[in-house]
Amino acid sequence: MRATVVSERSLSPNDEPVGGEGVTSWLCALAIAALVAIVYWPGVHGFWGRDDFMQLAFVRLLGTPWSLFTHDYFPVLGSVFRPLGVASMWLCEVLFGTRYQVHAIADLVLHASVGLALFGLLRRAAIPRTLAVLCTLLFALHPVVIGTALWWSARFDLLATLFVLLAVRAALDYRERRGTSALAWSFMAALAAMLSKEIGVATLVPISLLWLRWAWMEPVHRAKALRAIAWVWLCAAIYFGWRWWVLGTPSSGLTGSMPLTHAIAKGLLDWSRQMPGYLLFWARLDSLQRMVLALALVSALVAIGAAVLRRRVPLDWHRHVDLALCGACLLVLPALLQAPVAALNGAPLRADVSVIETAMQSRLYYLGIAGLVVALAATLAPIWAASALRWRAAMLAPLALAAITFACVSHQSASAFAQRSVEISAVARAADAAVERLDLPQSRCHVVFLGVEPAPEWSIYVSMDSIIKALSPDLDHVKHCYFHADYVTYFYLLAAPAGPAEAAPYRPLEIGGKTIPARRIGDLVIDYLSPPARIDARELAPVRFLRYRDGRFDDVSADVASGRLPVALRY
């Protein structure tokens, strides 16, 4: 049988060396990171939004991150288990506080690291350097990918993708060098990917396929390869058992009353319909950008076809079949793992939707686009090796044109993201300033915000409670208080301890005749409340009411207590 293991010594004279490339590789990596920074940079001047407020308030109140690994911390019980992702947010808050710009730069560095990990994987798999750089840029500068990186709450996707790529590279290293350190790195990176977000589970299949083909092609190493596969699935079993123990369920509560099988089927169908739109980003391109991208696609197909017909040597597909399989797995498996989320809130790309909402949808495709780029590189590499220099240039030009087009669109989107996120944050900043002026009681502290119309990008999922505890410069001033609004507040985040006596006159929430108990995670309490059945002016006397008007909040507590301003407290 023919061995497909590729080492530096096995490369033909026409191939570029892999590994130990010195200055050239460092310059390529620096160029990739610099281009990512240029494209992303306008987004640094944005502001928190949607789930960011809840995540930031949560980690500020948490205390230490260790309880994340042993408690069901998400407000919706039995839904997600991403302790490493949340722990990274906690660390950033400890290091950088609540200033958005610094956190955005941290995510820029993280996204650039993902791009460099992708470049490293392609080079480790013997993809020619120039081709590897352009394929990496197609991923790293794509507007869907940049949009994901801009949304702080999509940190989970960046971390999971980073560890997935590192795990696959370590698996390649182990197959070629047989070192136990590479095996250990592959296990640790795979576990870290799963603990960052559930899509990290996708790394198990490509690693297993790499080692299965190794066992098949090199019988002398079959036992070692099969043992490694057994160990990686034992690592997976530990993760699944750990997750089940913490959440109390092997599935997820995010689907609500929708059966899981139905959610998966619907989500896969929705994802397959919507993926092409996000991949081309067609709906959000202007006429010139569409023309350029179409020209790049057609030129690429023509150049590849001509290169295949005029090749100098037979195409060697065997050399890169492993990388192609890895890419295909990383494209398809995230769709399966995120199908329930896609079924619940996946939406097609549209030109009339806010760039912020587009960025929030983009997270569903971040790892998948990385997988597609890996598969693309593996497909082009044999054609590249069999082509003359002029046909290589003809293939590269359309790739470069597509990367430049995506970079321009991403830069515009980053600027629009920053502008819109700052614009809709005016009410949040006004609320924070109003609370800072209040003399809040140390017990039974309630503040109700009136007249707030959440931005469409926030809907009713951004609570005033999370906003205040995320933004307040003095957390001790607000951490024991309940902040309500005249729209639904699903849960409250408070410093422990907190109990029913502190929540009065509000009462514990009941759903279906069952009381939803408060939960404690570290130094934080998640509480679920509903307003009193009947409003008594005497009970409302200690409650502070702030009404939003003309860009600021005014204290109207006296008007409410006297009955001059009627209110409707809602769940």
pLDDT at 14: 39
Mean per-residue pLDDT, 192-198: 96
pLDDT at 539: 64
Mean per-residue pLDDT, 221-242: 93
Mean per-residue pLDDT, 427-446: 92
pLDDT at 412: 97
pLDDT at 86: 97
Cβ atoms of 446 and 544 within 8 Å: the answer is yes
Cβ atoms of 55 and 152 within 8 Å: the answer is yes
DSSP summary character for residue 286: -
Per-residue pLDDT band for 21 (boundaries 50, 70, 90) equals: low
Q: Is the pLDDT of residue 11 over 50?
A: no
Q: Find the largest Cα–Cα distance for the chain.
A: 90
Per-residue pLDDT band for 82 (boundaries 50, 70, 90) equals: very high
Residues pairing with 520 in the sheet = 525
Bigger pLDDT: 561 vs 384 = 384
The tokens describing 493, both together, are: 């985040």
Instruction: State the chain's mean pLDDT as an integer.
Output: 89
Instruction: Give backbone dihedrals phi and psi of 253, rounded to 5 degrees, phi first.
Output: -85, 0
Question: What tens digit of pLDDT does each residue of 309-345 get?
Answer: 876 656 667 778 999 999 999 999 999 999 888 888 8
CA distances from 406 to 119, 124, 274 (A): 18, 26, 18
pLDDT at 486: 84
Cβ atoms of 478 and 436 within 8 Å: the answer is no
Distance between CA atoms of 349 and 282, rounded to whole angstroms? 8
For the sheet with 519-521, list strands across it.
492-495, 524-527, 519-521
CA distances from 377 to 22, 26, 121, 188 (A): 22, 20, 11, 26
Measured N-to-C along each axis, helices 100-124 and 83-96 cross at an angle, to the nearest 10 degrees, of 130
Distance between CA atoms of 398 and 71, rounded to whole angstroms? 50
Mean per-residue pLDDT, 232-237: 93
Distance between CA atoms of 453 and 56, rounded to whole angstroms? 22
Distance between CA atoms of 408 and 258, rounded to whole angstroms? 40
The tokens describing 261, both together, are: 């099988």
Cβ atoms of 253 and 77 within 8 Å: the answer is yes
pLDDT over 90, % of the chain: 68
Distance between CA atoms of 291 and 420, rounded to whole angstroms? 28
Distance between CA atoms of 320 and 122, rounded to whole angstroms? 10
Distance between CA atoms of 89 and 383, rounded to whole angstroms? 43
Which range (38-42, 124-128, 219-223, 497-501) has the least confidence? 497-501
pLDDT at 8: 36
Per-residue pLDDT band for 7 (boundaries 50, 70, 90) equals: very low
Length of the chain: 571
Q: Coil, strand, or helix at residue 494? A: strand
Measured N-to-C along each axis, helices 389-423 and 129-140 cross at an angle, to the nearest 10 degrees, of 20
Mean per-residue pLDDT, 42-53: 95
pLDDT at 9: 35
Q: Coil, strand, or helix at residue 329? A: helix
Per-residue pLDDT band for 537 (boundaries 50, 70, 90) equals: low
Q: Which residue, 252, 277, 446, 427, is CA-closest to 358?
A: 277
Who contacts 27 (Cβ-Cβ below 8 Å, separation ≥6)?
none
Cβ atoms of 195 and 240 within 8 Å: the answer is no
Question: Per-residue b/e over 261-286, b at no fewer than 16 CB within 10 Å?
Answer: eebbebbbebbeebbebbebbeebbe
Q: What angle do CA 537, 440, 546 make, to 5 degrees?
A: 55
DSSP summary character for residue 231: H
* Selection from 34-48, 251-265, 381-395 with the highest mean pLDDT: 34-48
Q: Is the pLDDT of residue 41 over 70?
A: yes
Mean per-residue pLDDT, 347-369: 94
Q: Which residue, 401, 407, 415, 357, is CA-closest to 139?
A: 407
Which range (47-56, 440-449, 462-471) has the least confidence? 440-449
pLDDT at 3: 40
Mean per-residue pLDDT, 4-16: 39
Which range (45-54, 62-71, 247-256, 373-382) has the least confidence? 247-256
Per-residue pLDDT band for 468 (boundaries 50, 70, 90) equals: very high
pLDDT at 310: 75
Per-residue pLDDT band for 306 (boundaries 50, 70, 90) equals: confident
**β-strand 446-450 against 544-549: which pairing, if any?**
parallel
Mean per-residue pLDDT, 83-92: 97
Token look-up 């050239």 returns: 24
Who contacts 396 (Cβ-Cβ below 8 Å, separation ≥6)?
130, 131, 134
**β-strand 544-549 against 552-555: which pairing, if any?**
antiparallel
pLDDT over 70, % of the chain: 92
Question: What tens digit of pLDDT does each residue of 247-267 get?
Answer: 988 877 776 667 778 888 998
CA distances from 213 to 58, 174, 260, 266, 319 (A): 45, 13, 33, 33, 12
Distance between CA atoms of 299 and 214, rounded to whole angstroms? 37
Q: Is the pLDDT of residue 352 over 60?
A: yes
Question: What tens digit of pLDDT does each residue of 269-302 get?
Answer: 999 999 999 999 999 999 999 999 999 999 999 9
Q: Is the pLDDT of residue 527 over 90?
A: yes
Per-residue pLDDT band for 242 (boundaries 50, 70, 90) equals: very high
Q: Is the pLDDT of residue 550 over 90?
A: no
